[in-house]
Copies of this chain bind each other. A is one copy, B any other.
Amino acid sequence: MKYYMPTRVFSEKNCIEKHSAELAALGSHALIITGKSSSKLNSSLDDVISALKKHSVKYTVFDSVEENPSVETVMDARSTGLECGADFVIGIGGGSPLDAAKAAALMIKNREKPWDFLYTTIPAEALPLAAVPTTCGTGSEVTGVAVLTRHDMKTKVSAKHKIFPDIALIDGKYLLNAPRKIIVNTAIDALAHLVESAINTTADIYSDMSVFSGLSCWKKCRPYIDGTEVLTVGGAQLLMDTAALAGISIAQTGTTIPHSLSYMLTYSAGIPHGAAVGAFQGKYLKYAEKERRNAVLSAAGFTDTDEMGEFIAALAPVSCDRELLEHSAESVLKNKAKLALCPYEVTPAVMADLISD
């Protein structure tokens, strides 16, 4: 058994303003890494800039992170960081900018290394890093994981380095005006993290603490996810904290079969990450050992795995080419490291069921 999650987490209303000193203490020139628009619309970028200005910390904004960021984008961000002399990095946004920020923090610190240094296991430090999530799924703010698009491989692949943010600043207000689709898709991603961490050969007492707290929070969030209740300030904070608990969980166990199956679907068919991982959750849980399966279902507030699968499918339907699904399944069946994380044997028959409608 093991436990490691070194990020200092702050979660509250006006979090960036309240913890501007902790943010500013990370360095003297920040490279802010974010996407094209959402961090401008939800005011998170403004809040970060105000916090830095308050402490006379310089900053440069790199706002060209696309959804499912590529290694090329990370290398562009590094160039910007090196040009401006950044000595720390702030990622703002969903999983895409946060993962890009982690990879950039590593590559700026290791300025002489080529892009594929990301995929080596050579021990290396990254620049100090802060993460400001604005969606409720990734959990990237509390994990060491950076998933990047590899155009050379036509899929997404995690960097080999574990790059935990030094601080995570979580404020539900950035979620309040997010499109419903984003809230739904990312909340399903959080559920996927909790389920895949629960049904995992490396699950233990330490990972279970965040898994079951996370599932119980997710259950409380359900009315905001299925839209039966209007999202409140408190609800938004709870959705974000749920995502963080789910992130703490996968930081311990890693994700397993559904996440692996999803990457090609996202790369080749443009299916949003949350929907792509959500599509396999009901079936993935169905094969788990009964007592464990029931504990997960009960904590999340579902009667059975069919109900869970249908709940997800209704909110985030996925339609995708049969051939692509089979190609992805074939590739996962060859990934021994990933299969080893699944507590039951994923035979070709089981896999066929996992990817069936």
- Is A317 interfacial (CB-CB < 8 Å)? no
Docked complex: A78-104 residues within 8 A CB-CB of B: none
CA distance A297 to B337 in the complex (A): 41
How many identical subunits does the complex contain?
A: 2
Using Cβ atoms and an 8 Å threshold, which residues of chain B touch A210? 209
Q: Are B9 and A206 in contact (CB under 8 A)?
A: yes
| With A1-B241, A6-B6, A241-B1: A11-B209 Cβ-Cβ less than 8 Å | no
Task: Tell me which of B3, B9, B208, B214 contacts A3 (CB under 8 A).
Answer: B9
The interface bits of chain A over 2-29 (1 if a CB of B lies within 8 angstroms of the residue's CB, else 0) are 1111111111100000000000000000
Docked complex: A211-225 residues within 8 A CB-CB of B: 212-214, 217
- Nearest-neighbor residue (CB-CB) of A3 within chain B: B9
Using Cβ atoms and an 8 Å threshold, which residues of chain B touch A213? 205, 208-209, 212-213
CA distance A222 to B245 in the complex (A): 28
Shortest distance from the beta carbon of A210 to any chain B beta carbon, whole Å = 5
CA distance A217 to B212 in the complex (A): 13
Shortest distance from the beta carbon of A233 to any chain B beta carbon, whole Å = 14
- Nearest-neighbor residue (CB-CB) of A8 within chain B: B4
CA distance A285 to B1 in the complex (A): 32
